[in-house]
Chains A and B, each alone.
Chain A
Amino acid sequence: MKIRKADIVLVLVLLLVAAAAGIFMLAVRDTGGEAVVLRDGQEVLRLPLSEDAEEVITEGEDSNTVVIRDGTASVTQANCPDKVCVHTGEIRYEGQTIVCLPHKLVVKIEGGEEQSVDAVTQ
């Protein structure tokens, strides 16, 4: 079976492009956004969206479980009466918030994670 010069060039070019894209995406991803947890407007926790995490935020009897997964933040469990925070679902865009009024808790996205993703896809 013949291996042509064009075959070798093609494989090398594709490998190079994939590696470059991978490095670029990693670099972009590291500068990505963070989820900031605020209680009564005071920052209590800051979680990078690039790392999966699960944090239970408690204050007296109040409890909210904030989960970071696949670049999104969500409140998966809470003992508040309305469960609005849980039903909000996943957020990932800068400026998006999850609000738990009964617990006076806000999860807010800061930083440019989604912008960097757009830059890659466009």
Chain B
Amino acid sequence: MTTKRIARYGLLIALALILSYLESLLPVFVAVPGVKMGLPNIVIMFALYSLGTKDAVIISLIRVVLAGAMFGNVFAILYSAAGAVLSLLVMALLLKTKRFGPIGVSVAGGVAHNVGQIIVAILVTETAQIVFYLPVLCISGIAAGVLIGIVSGIVIERLKIEDKR
């Protein structure tokens, strides 16, 4: 692990944490606890495109644990970890197909994020009725995904890192 890489990790994790904090200040607009818009996804998108899948996974998981410890609780970590893992998996797959731009990747990630959180919510509360929130969450996930895709796309273009794609 090079110094440059460590510095980059630190910077991106710090940035993701600031976005997590900003997001924790926003009012929760849905009734399901822990479901968020996914502002830190801008950093994850950047890591995915500029560094690679492995680095994006590491940054995402460190972000989830630290943000949960600072702005949430164990349940918050559980919720966002489920969302983050599923979302990254889908985003990495879509990126591999080379058919989608940042908007498509981000939208799929946003929807996967909400699906992952709903699955955890159903398992934790043993309430199948929570599945009724899914369509609303998907639509809000799509809207947030488009916005985050546009922002990430611009950031990725402006800050091209040379050593990897």
| A interface list, Cβ under 8 A from B | 1-4, 6-7, 10-11, 14-15, 17-19, 21-22, 25, 29, 70-71, 92, 114, 117-118, 120-121
Contact = CB atoms under 8 A, between A and B. Distances in A.
Majority SS at the chain B contact face: helix
B135 A29 contact: no
A7 B103 contact: yes
Given A3-B103, A7-B101, A15 B135 contact: no
Given A1-B101, A1-B153, A14-B142, A117 B131 contact: yes
A68 to B, nearest CB: 13
9 contacts: A2-B153, A6-B101, A7-B149, A10-B108, A11-B104, A14-B107, A14-B111, A22-B136, A117-B129
B129 A70 contact: yes
Contact of A11 (B103, B127, B129, B136): B103
Contacts of A25: 131-132, 135
Most buried by B among A22, A29, A114, A118: A22
B147 to A, nearest CB: 12
Contacts of A4: 99-101, 104
B142 A11 contact: yes
A110 B91 CA distance: 44
B99 A120 contact: no
B122 to A, nearest CB: 8
Nearest to A18: B138
What is the size category of the interface that chain B forms with chain A? Answer: 20 to 34
A7 B105 CA distance: 8
B134 A1 contact: no
Contact of A118 (B128, B134, B142, B154): B128
A6 B104 contact: yes
A17 B149 CA distance: 20
Nearest to A90: B127
Nearest to B134: A21
Contacts of A118: 128
